[in-house]
Structure 1
Amino acid sequence: MQLNRKIALCIAATFCLPAILIAYELPTAAPEQVGLSAEKLQRAQAAMQKLVDDKRIAGGVIVVARRGKVVQFEACGMMDIEAKKPMKRDTIFRFYSMSKPITSVAVMILYEQGKIELDDPVSEYIPQFKGLKVVADPDAEEITEVEAKRQMTVRDLMRHTSGLTYGFFSNTAVDKLYRKSVQLGGSGVTLEEMAKNLAPIPLLYQPGTKWHYSVSTDVLGRVVEVASGQSLDKFFAERIFEPLGMADTAFYVPAGKIDRFATNYGPNPQGGLRPIDKPETTRYAKMPTFFSGGGGLVSTAGDYMRFCLMLLNKGEFGGKRLLKTETVEMMTKDQLPEQAYPIGTGGRAGVGFGLGFSVRVESSDAAPASRVGEYGWGGMASTHFWISPRDEIAVIVLTQHIPYSNRAERAVKPIIYEAISAGR
């Protein structure tokens, strides 16, 4: 009975959608107007609510848009369990790696201006990257260096074939050097300093030979700074956030907005959830010196949907064009060389990588709800988005939970695609 009441409240919120979203200035429509089933969309929200009731997540926000119109924008659960603060549509989230597509768009803005070429050596922007070495055997306990067969390029950074790593996913000898020498944040650290510290460390793989998730997008952030002559935060604000109206997206949460910042949760060994980062003590309350294009942004569901609608509309939103149609089409097609495809097994079988996004190239039994041509990405605190050009749909599913989990995305994705079929 309690669950039915919660679902009823969510349904009421859906029917009130156009009035709610006027404040966000996002284009809206009733689901049936764009070929979606309202009843199926309500089931997607119920699936999110079940995760809350089962204490798998504290709360979440889901936004669905089709044919350029938002048809579902709902919040459930709590943004702070201890303070009894309900999740809201304008709650601010840690987006972590959902920052990466924004950095990639920044690169392509400069590409269209002729300030960056995709096959430029990275050393043209960061001189310390000239003459990089590579480990002979990535799994060896001792490092033996060999020459790189070719230079690392901007394209390599964008598709994660640079040979760089992260330092915390594995325990190779190279990863240990990252943990010792490379700071992705911290007091006084800058992108310039990070890049200089990276340069002496050998690459884990030869450039262009293997997809390996890494600090590549943070290095791209430094490339943007050098090519544009601006700090990354200023470039983002002037060239992406302001044109798209992304008023709540930044590298920190100002004091006047901290009450909208969600608590981040992790699993409690005794069951349920425990807070691991709260607004009162978070590092996000202070402007950083390190502008992490790979994982430093905070944002809202409404802001990020503006970004998604720009991509879905091939580079334009609200009368502002950020990129040419052909540029977005290039970014959202698989760019991996044959030896680097796919990016994984299981749910990542049949998945390649474009210029800033994962791209489903082939269908897979391990991911039956995904569509060929679909692209997107996620973030460490269990945030997700995907866009299916074929279905003219963009979806954002946000929560705040570390370690990373895609359970919320998996819960709603098949239902949303069913809503398309049922709405035809």
Structure 2
Amino acid sequence: MKFLFFLLALPILAKELPTAKPEDVGMSSEALANIDPAVEKLIKQKKLAGGSVLVLRQGKIVYQKQFGFASRAAKKPLVGDTIFRIYSMTKAITSAAALMLHDEEKLKLDDPISKHLPEFESLTVWKGGADPIKASPAPTIRDLLRHTAGFSYGWGGTPVDRLYQKFKPLDRNKTLSEMTRAVAGVPLLYQPGKKWVYGINTDVLARVVEAASGKKFSTFLEERFFTPLGMTDTGFHVPADKADRLADVYAGKAGVLVTAEPAKGSPFLKSPAHQSGGGGLVSTITDYGRFLQMIANGGNFQGKTYLKKDTVKLMTTNQLPKEIPAIILGQQRYGTGFGLGFSVRTAIDNRWDKDARLGEFGWGGMASTHYWVSPKDELVVVTMEQTLPYNSNMEETLKPIIYEAIIN
């Protein structure tokens, strides 16, 4: 009997993602083979040094291949377990963590942020040359998840942005609690719920996860997602025994790719004080594919439930108010709304991402990593590279090829 209890107490080991011949799940091998020359052309054009592509249909890998170099200087090829800085692809994982606590009734979507983080009790809103006014209504957890709280990243030229630049809330040496205290006295750019503003919302959300769960953010993610999902290479830094697997970061300058951050000496080799929920994780393409497949499955993966199906629907369908018809990030993203964690295609509009499918959801990361999921097509795609500044070359090149490979 004691042996039985011991067996029941053992963690369930995650299985490998299954593979399938493309034709067995309604895709064409011949059409998917067009990915190879397309990526090789981008490398030849010096638009990236190396890239990795993963395609899953109906939960099975139908295509996975790597191209080019993880480090050109070291002549190190990019391989299946190369580790990438995924930056803003962290956001979806943080959002899932908060929504898991919502499912467990440890927080509510319409809770004011200040219920969990009292430092935000007296938030104000910038009013041009006038004195800031009181934030009304108070920003909620829902606002953090859909980027309507009014927080900035400090990228603009407003007095609010200059305060972000001064306080440096995303400094890797600041803890999450130090970060929230640093920005709590800075006015919001807009009244909550009125505008979609890409900012430190998800970093604040990570601190909410800590407060609501009573655990360090990294511990919560490790225990509740990474270990059970089998995401063995995902975390806030690359441990010493895996350091040789971290890719270099490249930057395009005058048509030439130069090394912007070599893996050797990268800040991601050290555990940071700031466990950034908005952009702090490193991962592999397969690890991230496992997370996305769980979402595509409606919150389930290999027999374990992580999120309720209705909760996943909130993540993957547009949750913006009618007053916000589409998101703006650099430019107007026509026909694109935002759920509680992902951008969502709400209408077909050739002025933005012309090959996207209705209902498709996804996002990307600063070093030009991308992913998209088409629920209707039972399709999950992840592309990885390490190229600055952010560009969508891989996504724009491969999306039509992959969709055209669907034959049934």
1:268 aligns with 2:253: yes
Q: Distance in 1 between matches of 2:192 and 2:91?
A: 20
Contiguous gaps of at least 5 residues in structure 1: 1-22
> 3-state SS of the aligned residue for 1:340?
coil
1:173 aligns with 2:159: yes
Q: Deviations over 1:280-314 (max 9, x none)?
A: 11001111111001000000000000001101111
> 3-state SS of the aligned residue for 2:197?
coil
Offset of residue 24 of structure 1: 7.6
Q: Distance in 2 between matches of 1:227 and 1:102?
A: 16
1:411 aligns with 2:402: no
Structure 1 length as normaliser, TM-score? Answer: 0.91
> 3-state SS of the aligned residue for 2:274?
coil
Asked whether the equivalents of residues 211 and 341 of structure 1 are also in contact (C-alpha less than 8 Å), the reply is: no
Letter in 2 for 1:335: Q
- The sequence identity of aligned pairs, in percent, is 49
Offset of residue 368 of structure 1: 2.2
Task: Find the counterpart in structure 2 of residue 387 from structure 1.
Answer: 373
Asked whether the equivalents of residues 15 and 302 of structure 2 are also in contact (C-alpha less than 8 Å), the reply is: no
1:295 aligns with 2:279: yes
Q: Distance in 2 between matches of 1:143 and 1:369?
A: 45
Task: Find the counterpart in structure 1 of residue 292 from structure 2.
Answer: 308
Task: Find the counterpart in structure 1 of residue 168 from structure 2.
Answer: 182
Alignment of 1:80-119 (within 5 A): 80-119=71-110
Task: Find the counterpart in structure 1 of residue 226 from structure 2.
Answer: 241
Q: Distance in 1 between matches of 2:84 and 2:186?
A: 33
Offset of residue 48 of structure 1: 1.1
Q: Distance in 2 between matches of 1:320 and 1:58?
A: 38
Asked whether the equivalents of residues 381 and 403 of structure 1 are also in contact (C-alpha less than 8 Å), the reply is: yes
Aligned residues: 393
Task: Find the counterpart in structure 1 of residue 5 from structure 2.
Answer: none
Alignment of 1:148-167 (within 5 A): 148-167=135-154
Q: Distance in 1 between matches of 2:36 and 2:241?
A: 30
Contiguous gaps of at least 5 residues in structure 2: 1-13
Q: Distance in 2 between matches of 1:268 and 1:147?
A: 44
Pick one of 341, 348, 364 that aligns with 2:333: 348
Letter in 2 for 1:409: E
Asked whether the equivalents of residues 250 and 260 of structure 2 are also in contact (C-alpha less than 8 Å), the reply is: yes
Q: Distance in 1 between matches of 2:167 and 2:85?
A: 25
Q: Deviations over 1:210-250 (max 9, x none)?
A: 00100000000000000000011000000000110000000
Offset of residue 40 of structure 1: 1.2
Q: Distance in 1 between matches of 2:245 and 2:103?
A: 36
> 3-state SS of the aligned residue for 1:71?
strand
Task: Find the counterpart in structure 2 of residue 16 from structure 1.
Answer: none
Pick one of 61, 71, 74 that aligns with 1:70: 61
Task: Find the counterpart in structure 2 of residue 251 from structure 1.
Answer: 236
- Supply the RMSD in Å over aligned alpha carbons: 1.3
Offset of residue 317 of structure 1: 1.1
Q: Distance in 1 between matches of 2:197 and 2:15?
A: 37
Q: Distance in 2 between matches of 1:234 and 1:329?
A: 26
Task: Find the counterpart in structure 2 of residue 5 from structure 1.
Answer: none
Task: Find the counterpart in structure 1 of residue 264 from structure 2.
Answer: 280
Offset of residue 186 of structure 1: 2.8
Letter in 1 for 2:192: P
1:214 aligns with 2:199: yes
Distance 1:101-1:393 versus aligned 2 partners, 3 A rule = same
1:334 aligns with 2:325: no
Offset of residue 402 of structure 1: 1.0
Task: Find the counterpart in structure 1 of residue 6 from structure 2.
Answer: none
Q: Deviations over 1:100-156 (max 9, x none)?
A: 00000000110010001000000011101112110113xxxx463112221010000
Offset of residue 160 of structure 1: 0.2
Structure 2 length as normaliser, TM-score? Answer: 0.94
Distance 1:171-1:24 versus aligned 2 partners, 3 A rule = farther
Q: Deviations over 1:265-290 (max 9, x none)?
A: 00134x42111111211001111111
Letter in 1 for 2:264: E
Offset of residue 181 of structure 1: 1.2
